[in-house]
Amino acid sequence: MSVREIVCEDLIGAIEDLRREGFRLDFIYPADDPKSAELSRAGETVRIARSDAPALPDGLPEFVPEYVLTRAGAAPAEGRAGMLYRDLLPSRLGGRYIASHITIPGGGTVADWVHHHRVALQMIFVRRGWVRVVYEDQGEPFIMHEGDLVLQPPGIRHRVLESSPGLEVVEISAPALHATYADHDLALPNGERRGRAFRRQHFLHHVAAATGWTPFNGAEARETMMAEASAGLADVRTIRRGNASRMEFAPTDGELVFGFVLEGEAELDGSAIAPADAFAIPPRQAWAIGPMSSDFRLLHVTTERLDAAA
């Protein structure tokens, strides 16, 4: 098989030109700002890269804790399949994690394909609107609504089919830099649901409307089963004020401590936070939120050390 290598700055344009010539996309990275891709056609492979394309890491980069406060309003970048990505962790915490606020302004059919990711951990939370998706061994396509969450175990094949106008999701993955690989041989859906494991993790579809609010840290939370599904690697909940005016959080021994403001206003250790603001707290640091507005909602994500999942 012949291999042709191309360096160009308009990666998306080059991909579209090759697809019009009958090439199919085999992999692309990174999803939030594509800089390298490989396409193939009957005995011929083309590798395209921008001049600033980074090399994929060998395993998980070292975790570098940092206090991060990212404000809403930054312009997003065009990512794969026409999705718009806003970076919520610019430092990537040493390359260990990426968190993205992803939007599809127009909605409708999504130009996606059956694919999978080489990751240790990946989750998606719907902030606004709805999205129809399909996953390997998980039965028929289904719709995720506001507040719903999925855990995408390593290697699970999946596809985004369509969305409402103005869809917004928050996606968290580790490592930050990872490739998206097409699976040209698998058609989804691929049969009835099977409760299989993918590198010890199980697919999770958390349905917010079917989950009640329970006491949490003086406030209230809508818990998920993320800890069980991820084999203890992560925990995720949505927090609301309830009757609390302030929440205090003790230091943890894990890695990621992440928050995304879904609604309302509050103060994070004295700094005002508002809708679509995001933050990360070093794991061995105590922190607090308060006072909170009556409509305050927070997506709260924590992880343990991921070295065992590398």
CA–CA separation, 230 vs 110, rounded Å? Answer: 28
Residue owning tokens 């056609």? 41
pLDDT tens across the length of the chain (310 residues): 678 999 999 998 999 999 999 999 999 999 888 999 999 999 899 999 999 999 999 889 999 999 999 999 888 888 877 789 999 999 999 999 999 999 999 999 998 999 999 999 999 999 999 999 999 999 999 999 999 999 999 999 999 999 999 999 999 999 999 999 999 999 999 988 888 999 999 999 999 999 999 999 999 999 999 999 999 999 999 999 999 989 999 999 999 999 999 999 999 999 999 999 999 999 999 999 999 999 999 999 999 999 855 4
Element (H or E) spanning 220, and its range?
A: strand 219-223
Rounded to whole angstroms, what are the CA distances from 81 to 161, 282, 284, 290?
11, 33, 38, 39
Rounded to whole angstroms, what are the CA distances from 284 to 120, 252, 270, 278, 303?
22, 5, 19, 19, 13
From-to residues of CATH 2.60.120.10 in the chain: 209-309
Residue owning tokens 């999205």? 131
Please give the full DSSP string across 148-172, using - where no structure is assigned: -EEE--TT--EEEEEE-TTEEEEEE
Q: CATH class for domain 1-55? A: alpha beta
CA–CA separation, 101 vs 6, rounded Å? Answer: 31
Phi, psi of 147 (to 5 degrees): 90, -10
Residue owning tokens 């980069």? 61
CA–CA separation, 270 vs 138, rounded Å? Answer: 44
Contact call for residues 83 and 131 (beta carbons, < 8 A): no
Element (H or E) spanning 29, and its range?
A: strand 24-29
Element (H or E) spanning 2, and its range?
A: strand 2-7
Q: What is the pLDDT of residue 1?
A: 62
Contact call for residues 263 and 287 (beta carbons, < 8 A): no
Is 209-309 in CATH node 2.10.10.90? no
Element (H or E) spanning 159, and its range?
A: strand 158-163
Q: For residue 254, give the 3-state DSSP assignment.
A: coil
From-to residues of CATH 3.30.720.120 in the chain: 1-55
Dump pLDDT digits (tens) for 239-275: 999 999 899 999 999 999 999 999 999 999 999 999 9
Dump pLDDT digits (tens) for 123-170: 999 999 999 999 999 999 999 999 999 999 999 999 999 999 999 999
Rounded to whole angstroms, what are the CA distances from 14 to 37, 39, 78, 79, 84?
10, 11, 15, 14, 19
